[in-house]
Amino acid sequence: MTTATQFSRQDTEVLEDREPKSGAQLLLEALERQGVETIFGYPGGAIMPVYDVLPKTKLRHILCRHEQGCGMAAIGYARATGRVGTAFATSGPGATNLVTAIADAYLDSVPTVFVTGQVTSDLMGTDAFQEVDIFGITLPIVKHSYIARDPADIPGMVAEAYFIAAEGRPGPVLIDLPKDVANAVTTERHRWRPYPKVKPEMGQSDYITRAEEMIKAAEKPLFYIGGGIAQGDGVKELRELVERTEIPVVSTLKGLGALPSDHPHFLGMLGMHGLKAANFAVQECDLLIVAGARFDDRATGKLDTFAPHAKVIHMDIDIAEINKLRKVDVYLDGSLKKNLAALNPGKADIDEWRKLCYERRAEHAWDYKSPITSMKSGGVYAPKLLHDLSRRADDRAIFTCDVGQHQMWVAQHCYFDDPKDHITSGGLGTMGFGLPAGLGAKLGAPDRTVITVSGDGSIMMNIQELATLFRYDIPVKIVLLDNSALGMVRQWQEVFFDQNYSEVNLDDNPDFAKVAKAFQIDAFTVTRGDEVDAGIDRLLAAKGPILMHVKIDTYENVWPLVPPGRSNADMMER
C-alpha cells in the first residue's frame, strides 16, 4: 500500500460560487453523499466545530467511551457490512488513541476512514496544547492520508478518501482537519483529480492457462486461502472452483468461512494452532494454490520448511505480496473474483490424495465426549462450550473475539458459513478488540446475532464499552472465558520458559458479572460443566446485551501448537 502526502492544489480547478458553508459542514455533507450512516466517535476541543454541526445532519453518531473503542467499532462495522467504517477523534491524545485501531485496520486490510481534529494551522509545529503530528505518526500504517488546508478541498478529499479505502486492497485512510479549516467558511468547491484507472491485467489469459496446466499435472494439489477471498468478493467464485476441482482446502485465521466449516473438501485452519490434517496436507502437497493469503508467519511456521515439495500459484490483488516471502511459479494479480472464475482445469484426478487428506481429517477430529481434566472435575471445557454455542446459535450468527487462547478456540471449534461470521484481529493481534468490534458489527448488521468471545485479560482493555452497549441498547451477547491468567502468555511460559510464570496471574480479577451489572448489563456466572447448557439457553434468549461469565481451568492450553522457529509438521499436543 502507498501513502500520499496532503492534497495538491494544482490538481484542482475552482468551481462556481455556491452557498457559504464551513469546512465542518462540508465534511459532514460529504460523508452523507458517500452513504455513511453511522460514525463512531469521541468529541474534543479541536474537532468541536464538527460536533457543533453534527446534530443538524442525518448521521448517526455512536459515542464510544474511548477513542480506541471508536476505531475498533468502525472496524467491526466495516467487516460485518463490507462497507467503509468511519471514526472521529480530536487532536493529541484523541488521535493517538486511534493509532492501534488504524494499525489493526492496516494489517487486516479493512476499509476505514479516520477523521481527526487538529490544532489551528498557525499552531501546527509549535507543540501547542493537544498537538501531535498524527499525519507523520501514522504514515507507515495508512493506505493514504491528508491534511485539509482549505475548506473548499474537503468534499473532493472525502470522496477520494472513501474510494481509496475500499478500492483494490482495502485499508485505512486518515483525514487530519485543523480547527481553523473546520471553522472557515467558503463559497468555493475545488474539483478533484479523477480517480485513477485500474491498469489492465496484461497477460492474465496466458497465466490462467499455465495455472490450469499446473493443476492438471499435480498429484497432491491444495488450496491455501486467506482473508483476501472475502475482501475481493470472491467467496462464490472460490466455492464454485473448489466444487469444479474437488481439491482439498486449508485456510488462514482470516480466511475462515470462505468455505463452510463442514464443507466436504475443507481440512481446517493451518498454522501455529492449525488442525493436524491441515498442516500435514500443506507439508506434503506438491502444488499450493494460494488465494488471498500472504504467507504470514503464524500460518507458515518456519518459512523455508513450509510446503517444501510444492510449486506455487499465487493469486492476490496486491502485487507487492507476490514473491515477497515465497517464490512463486505462476502469479495471478488483480481481481481475485475474476481470476477464481476464470480458472477451470476440471476435476482433479487425485483420488488417493483426497482419501489421505480426508482420512486424516477424520482421524484427528475433535473429541468433545472423552473427558479431559477440567471435565472430569466437573469444570467447564471451553472448546466444548464454544462448539455447542456455535451449533446452537442461529446460522447467521457473527462471532467477534479478542486475542489469546479463546481466539484460537473460537477459530478451531466454532462453525462459520461465511467470512463475515468471524471477526477477529489477525495481523496486529489486538487485545481489547472483541467488545467494540462486536458493537460495531451489531450496529452494521442489526438483524444478525452477534456473539463476542473475550478473555479476562482482553475484556479489561476496553471494558468501558459496556457503557456504550447500555446507552444504545445494543444486544451483543458476551461470553467471557475467565481463567484468572493471561492465558496465552502463561501457556508459552509453561511450555517454552520452564514454567517461569512472570506477570500473568490475574487471580485478583473482579466479579465480572457484578461489573457488567454495574453498567446495567444483564449478566450471570457459569462455573460447572453441568451449568453450560442452561447458560447457553439464557445467553441466546436474551433480548438485550448480556454477559455470560465462565470460569475455566487456569492451566487448560490450546493444542496443537507449532513451536516458534519450527516446521508446521512439528506440532505439540496435550
Which of 237-246 are b and which e, b meaning 16 or more Cβ less than 10 Å from the residue's Cβ? bbbebbeebe
Q: Pull the grid cell for residue 241.
A: 472452483
Given a contact cutoff of 8 angstroms between Cβ atoms, the answer to whether 427 and 105 are in contact is no
Query: Are 413 and 386 contacting, i.e. CB atoms less than 8 angstroms apart?
Result: yes
Positive/negative CA dihedral, 161, 162, 165, 169: negative
**Catalytic residue numbers, as ranges:** 67, 129-130, 179, 488
| Fold agreement (9-191, 373-551) | yes
Q: What is the CA 43 to chain-centroid distance, rounded?
A: 26
Residue type, 127: D
Question: Strand, helix or coil at 450?
Answer: strand
Residue 281 CA neighbour count, 13 Å, CB half = 36
Q: How far apart are CA 172 and CA 185, in angstroms?
A: 28
Given this model, what pLDDT does residue 5 score? 36
pLDDT at position 194 is: 67
Q: What is the mean pLDDT of residues 320-342?
A: 92
Contact 453, 406 (CB under 8 A): yes
Q: Please determine, for residue 11, whether its predicted confidence score (pLDDT) is greater than 70.
A: no
pLDDT above 60 for 59: yes
Residues 31 and 233: their CA atoms lie apart, in Å, by 24
On the question of pLDDT at 3 being above 50, the answer is no
Give me the pLDDT at residue 203, please.
Answer: 47
Angle among Cα 269, 270, 271 to the nearest 5 degrees reads 130
239 vs 200, which has greater pLDDT?
239
Residue 63: phi and psi, rounded to 5, are -85, 100
Strand pairing class (190-191; 13-14): antiparallel
Helix (H) or strand (E) holding 136: helix 134-137
Mean pLDDT of 427-454: 97
Beta strands in 52-163 (DSSP E): 60-63, 85-89, 112-118, 144-147
Q: Quick one: CATH architecture of 9-191?
A: 3-Layer(aba) Sandwich (3.40)
Is residue 231 within 8 Å of residue 169, measured between CB atoms? yes
Q: Which segments of 189-310 are extended strands (E)?
A: 190-191, 221-225, 249-251, 266-269, 287-291
C-alpha cell at 439: 458493537
With a cut of 50, say whether residue 12 has pLDDT above it: no
Per-residue pLDDT tens over the stretch 109-124 = 999 999 999 999 999 9
CATH 1.10.730.10 for domain 204-363: no
N residues, the chain: 574
Q: How far apart are CA 405 and CA 108, in angstroms?
A: 20
13 pLDDT above the threshold of 80: no
Question: Mean pLDDT over residues 412-434, rounded?
Answer: 96
Whole-number Å distance between alpha carbons of 453 and 337: 31
Name residue 508's amino acid. D
Q: Would you give the distance in Å from CA 158 to the centre of its chain? A: 24
Position 16 pLDDT exceeds 60: no
Contact 250, 413 (CB under 8 A): no
Over residues 393-397, mean pLDDT: 89
Q: Which of 228, 225, 318 is nearest to 263 (CA)?
A: 225
Cell numbers for 60: 448517526
State the pTM of this model.
Answer: 0.94
CA distances from 527 to 126, 161, 212, 405, 439 (A): 56, 49, 54, 18, 26
The predicted structure's pLDDT at residue 1: 40
User: Taking residues 445-455, what's their average pLDDT?
Assistant: 97
Grid coordinates belonging to 204:
492474465
**Cis, peptide link before residue 260, omega less than 30° from 0:** no
Q: Taking Cα atoms as reference points, which of 511, 541, 546 lies closest to residue 527?
A: 511
Mean pLDDT score, 485-490: 96
The per-residue pLDDT for 196 is 61
**Measured between alpha carbons, how far is 359 from 353 in angstroms, rounded to an integer?**
10
Q: Residues 377, 369, 254, 226: is their CA dihedral positive or negative?
A: positive
pLDDT mean over 548-553:
96
DSSP 485: B
List the grid coordinates of 270: 493451518
First to last CA, the chain: 41
- Please name the residue that has the C-alpha cell 463442514: 262
Between CA 256 and CA 230 the distance in angstroms is 10
Contact (Cβ atoms closer than 8 angstroms) between residue 38 and residue 46: no
| Displacement of CA 205 from its chain's centroid (Å) | 32
Compute the average pLDDT of residues 131-143: 97
> Nearest Cα to 490, choosing from 456, 452, 526?
456
Domain residue spans of the chain: 9-191, 204-363, 373-551
- pLDDT tops 90 at residue 143: yes
Average pLDDT over residues 310-326: 93
Per-residue model confidence (pLDDT) at position 197: 56
DSSP class of 116: E
Q: Which residues face 251 on adjacent strands?
A: 225, 269
373-551: what fold? Rossmann fold (3.40.50)
Tell me the average pLDDT across 58-86: 98
Phi and psi, residue 431, nearest 5°:
-65, 145
Instruction: Please compute the mean of the pLDDT values over residues 323-344 and round it to a whole number.
Output: 92
284 contacts 309 by C-beta, under 8 angstroms: yes
Q: Span 13-24, mean pLDDT?
A: 76
pLDDT in tens, 198-228: 554 544 678 999 999 999 999 999 999 999 9
Rounded to the nearest 5 degrees, what angle is found at the Cα of 453, between the Cα atoms of 408 and 251?
A: 35
Which one-letter DSSP state was computed for residue 532? H
